[in-house]
């Protein structure tokens, strides 16, 4: 499969725990994006990388959130001290310089 | 800033045509995307308009007017499986997409 992949697909955690999600982009895509989507809303931008450089972070990304893309390939998104308001679908997408833009299947986070 | 507006919900009959409008205000606009999203799933790519005009792809067509900040997605010969949310997204600097809230389309028999 050559599409964007995300792991895990579902995560249930208790409030206060830390969680980490992984995204593997399409191999030739140099840009990688993280979005968050809650029920009935469109995806909201969190952050994006060009190769290994994190070029932009949304104000939605509080200090409990951190994202990395250490070798310019896969990326991780960590949420520390999770809160119930963090429950959402976390979407990863990648794009190429020519503009093709594709989402992964998402990680659904439920914070109890 | 970025602002994307689209209707919240639309209802149509199987076999009919539905047009979903989207207006946008985006600095550094590069292009306009449409995605389809079924409940509980990730968005899937439908269309991408860079230049003004109509792009046709099977039963789905998308139109863009850059001067008016306006796009629409046209769904023809509606099928029950077309019941989904349709997301309009404007592409700006860094290829980043800003999404509207989505239009939920309900197709009735």
Which one of A48, A93, A106 has the shortest CB-CB distance to B94? A48
Q: Is the pLDDT of residue A1 over 60?
A: no
Closest CA to A89 of A53, A44, A36, A33: A36
CA-based nearest residue in chain A for residue B92: A99
* Cβ within 8 Å, pair A42-B95: no
Q: Which residues of B touch A (CB under 8 A)?
A: 4, 30-31, 33, 35, 40-45, 48, 50, 87, 89, 91, 94-102
Tell me the pLDDT of chain A averaged across its residues. Answer: 93
Q: List, for residues A27-46, the tens digit of each pLDDT value.
A: 888 999 999 999 989 999 99
Bond prior to A109 in cis (omega within 30° of 0): no
pLDDT bracket for residue A81 (50, 70, 90): very high
A50 touches B at CB < 8 Å: yes
The owner of tokens 């990326």 is A75
- Residues of chain B where predicted confidence (pLDDT) is lower than 70: 1
The owner of tokens 């963090």 is A86
The CA distance from B9 to the nearest CA of chain A, in Å, is: 11
In degrees, to the nearest 5, what angle opens at C-alpha A31 toward C-alphas A28 and A36?
125
Q: Which helix (H) or strand (E) holds B64?
A: strand B60-65
Q: List, for residues B84-107, the tens digit of each pLDDT value.
A: 999 999 998 777 899 999 999 999
Range A83-90 average pLDDT: 96
Would you state the pLDDT for residue B31?
92
């Amino acid at each position: 499969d050559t599409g964007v992949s995300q792991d895990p697909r579902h995560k249930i955690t208790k409030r206060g725990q830390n969680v980490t999600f992984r995204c593997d982009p399409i191999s030739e895509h140099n840009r990688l994006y993280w979005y968050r989507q809650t029920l009935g809303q469109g995806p909201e931008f969190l952050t994006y990388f060009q190769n290994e450089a994190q070029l932009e972070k949304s104000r939605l990304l509080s200090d409990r959130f951190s994202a990395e893309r250490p070798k310019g390939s896969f990326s991780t998104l960590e949420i520390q001290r999770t809160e119930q308001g963090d429950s959402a679908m976390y979407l990863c997408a990648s794009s190429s310089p020519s503009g093709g833009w594709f989402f992964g299947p998402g990680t659904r986070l439920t914070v109890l | 800033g970025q602002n994307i507006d689209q209707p919240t919900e639309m209802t149509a009959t199987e076999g009919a045509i539905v047009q979903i409008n989207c207006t946008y205000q985006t600095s550094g606009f590069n292009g306009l995307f449409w995605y389809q999203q079924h409940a509980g799933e990730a968005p899937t790519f439908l269309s991408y308009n860079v230049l003004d005009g109509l792009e046709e792809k099977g039963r789905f067509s998308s139109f863009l007017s850059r001067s008016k900040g306006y796009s629409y997605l046209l769904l023809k010969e509606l099928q029950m499986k077309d019941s989904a949310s349709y997301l309009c997204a404007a592409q700006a600097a860094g290829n980043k997409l800003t999404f509207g809230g989505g239009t939920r389309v309900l197709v009735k028999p």
